[in-house]
Amino acid sequence: MLIAVVTLTDGRGRSAAGPPSQPDVAPAVAVLAPQGSTDPVPSTAGLARVLGPLMREPALGGRVAAAVVDPLTGRLLYGEAQDQPMTPASSAKVLTAVAALRVLGPDRTLPTRVVQGPTRDQITLVGGGDPSLTAQPKPETPYPAPARLPDLAAATAARLREAGVSAVRLTYDDSLFTGPQVSPEWDDGYTVANVAPVTALMVDQGRRQPGERLRRSGDLAESAAKTFAGLLAQHGIRVTSTSRGPAAAGAPTLAEVHSPPVSGLVEHMLSASDNDYAEALARHVARAKGEEASFAGAVRAIRAVLGELGVPTAGLTLYDASGLSRQDRVSAETLARTLALAASPDHPELRAAVTGLPVAGFTGTLDSRFGGEAASALGYVRAKTGTLTGVNSLTGLVRDASGRLVVFAFIADRVPAAYRDTLAPAALDEMAAAVARCGC
């Protein structure tokens, strides 16, 4: 078998096997693909010998769970409290990623459209639930290229000018998603910096300024429509009024822009731990499964998809798709088996759930992780992090010393607050590094 290996350096003399962060095409992951059954499978006793003592690390608190799965055979290689439902934090995004890729497919894009209203001087901006929609200039690196509101405005203005229209009434339709925009299970203040109210129409994720964490208050769909009106004005189209309203059934499309493919959205969601992307993707899964596009419908749909894939869901309780709720419960085995499907050669449609995982010490939420004794795994571990007060988790995959690809999930949900950002994540990193070194 031909195995492709790409070497990265981070400016500190370290190298990693993995794809470049902004490739021209979807990242290659042959280096992480299961090679076959010839590489020795780590033994349960060997994994227990290296992981058992690390799970007793005081910084992890009084409740820790672990599961290690062979993605080639689906066999549980090691488990301790692996079936105990625990708070996953953002590791829950692994479930959302697999559900989205399975149901929507990796190549689907999400459109934001402008359709003709009932009169020639009325148009409707229709939100398509694209969390990447931006009003910012075109990025220097085109992958994955977000949908741009300025492009939509330019194309819309051109169509209007062709029709001899120079002034319009603008309505905006954000009805694709239903239910509350903010989960009652979220802590107060989450929508200030961690997540935007969930809406089918927003621009720049509701941020006040690009790149900053603070969100706008008020109606994000209305704000997007007003931004669009300003962009139309730059192209000579005057907007005389702006109001919320549904698009007419069967209305002809004047212009549209499309998100990156679902695979690109999933990769970003996992790498950046993007809560907005998670909640939007989950609502599209809900719609595809015949559920309402709400918090409740989304989690029902995710659970259904996992069940269809044969993932054990006993004890699985979700209140959102991002892992922000402290009431979410999932077992380490459910996380590990879900990711094992994405790493399996039987499910190429799920591969973005692997390529999107941060690389230890190099990308995403792991860019500054895996120091100290865990540094031996720099560039080798790919994993999704999870962090809430009292909770740290790590769900990922790595080749062990014998060359066998294994998937792991570690959860600690009674972490002393003082250790959340220091000793607790370091302890989980060391557990992943121990699996990488094992060859046992």
Check pLDDT > 60 for residue 60: yes
Structural domain range at position 203: 111-260
User: Do 136 and 229 belong to one domain?
Assistant: yes
Check pLDDT > 90 for residue 178: yes
User: Do 137 and 63 belong to one domain?
Assistant: no
User: Do 126 and 236 belong to one domain?
Assistant: yes
CA distance 160 to 114: 11
CA distance 270 to 358: 7
289 is catalytic: no
User: Do 231 and 361 belong to one domain?
Assistant: no
**Among candidate residues 297, 335, 291, 339, the one with its CA nearest the CA of residue 319:** 297
Check pLDDT > 60 for residue 160: yes
217 is catalytic: no
Characterize the bridge pairing of strands 391-399 and 405-412.
antiparallel
pLDDT value of residue 141: 62
User: Do 332 and 427 belong to one domain?
Assistant: yes
DSSP state of 7: E
DSSP state of 118: S
pLDDT tens for residues 75-129? 999 999 999 999 999 999 999 999 999 999 999 999 999 999 999 999 999 999 9
Over residues 165-182, the mean pLDDT reads: 98
User: Do 121 and 100 belong to one domain?
Assistant: no
Percent of the chain with pLDDT over 90: 84
At residue 387 the predicted structure's pLDDT band, cuts being 50, 70 and 90, is very high
pLDDT value of residue 38: 73
pLDDT value of residue 37: 62
> Is 85 part of any domain?
yes
pLDDT value of residue 439: 81
pLDDT value of residue 32: 57
User: Do 250 and 133 belong to one domain?
Assistant: yes
Write out the two tokens for 47: 């994994």
Q: Contact 393/415 with Cβ under 8 angstroms?
A: no
Within 10 A of 346 (CB to CB), how many other CB atoms are there? 12
Which one is catalytic: 90, 271, 331, 393? 90
> Is 298 part of any domain?
no
Percent of the chain with pLDDT over 70: 90
**Among candidate residues 378, 393, 382, 377, the one with its CA nearest the CA of residue 359:** 382
Over residues 414-430, the mean pLDDT reads: 97
User: Do 386 and 411 belong to one domain?
Assistant: yes
Within 10 A of 37 (CB to CB), how many other CB atoms are there? 11
At residue 142 the predicted structure's pLDDT band, cuts being 50, 70 and 90, is low
At residue 18 the predicted structure's pLDDT band, cuts being 50, 70 and 90, is very low
User: Do 139 and 256 belong to one domain?
Assistant: yes
pLDDT value of residue 210: 67
User: Do 250 and 130 belong to one domain?
Assistant: yes
pLDDT value of residue 15: 38
Least confident of 129-133, 184-188, 432-436: 184-188
> Is 313 part of any domain?
no
pLDDT value of residue 2: 31
User: Do 136 and 190 belong to one domain?
Assistant: yes
327, amino acid identity? Q
Least confident of 22-36, 245-259, 283-297, 357-371: 22-36
- In whole numbers, what is the pLDDT of the chain averaged over residues? 91
pLDDT value of residue 11: 35
pLDDT tens for residues 216-260? 668 999 999 999 999 999 999 999 999 999 999 999 999 999 999
Check pLDDT > 60 for residue 14: no
pLDDT value of residue 13: 39
Least confident of 27-31, 114-118, 297-301, 351-355: 27-31
DSSP state of 68: E
pLDDT value of residue 400: 96
> Is 245 part of any domain?
yes
214, with CB counted inside 10 A (0-12, 13-18, 19+), is exposed
User: Do 22 and 59 belong to one domain?
Assistant: yes
At residue 208 the predicted structure's pLDDT band, cuts being 50, 70 and 90, is confident
Over residues 381-391, the mean pLDDT reads: 98
CATH number of the domain encompassing residue 218? 3.50.80.20
Over residues 171-190, the mean pLDDT reads: 96
Torsion sign across C-alpha atoms 339, 344, 350, 353? positive
CATH number of the domain encompassing residue 329? 3.40.710.10
> Is 205 part of any domain?
yes
> Is 366 part of any domain?
yes
> Is 307 part of any domain?
no
Check pLDDT > 50 for residue 20: no
Within 10 A of 310 (CB to CB), how many other CB atoms are there? 10
Q: Contact 24/143 with Cβ under 8 angstroms?
A: yes
Cis peptide before 40 (omega within 30 of 0): no
Which one is catalytic: 91, 183, 263, 273? 273
Check pLDDT > 70 for residue 19: no
Task: Report the run of H or E that residue 429 belongs to, with start and end.
Answer: helix 423-438
Check pLDDT > 80 for residue 381: yes
How many domains would you assign to the chain?
2
> Is 301 part of any domain?
no
At residue 189 the predicted structure's pLDDT band, cuts being 50, 70 and 90, is confident
Least confident of 33-37, 44-48, 158-162, 321-325: 33-37
273 is catalytic: yes
pLDDT value of residue 24: 34
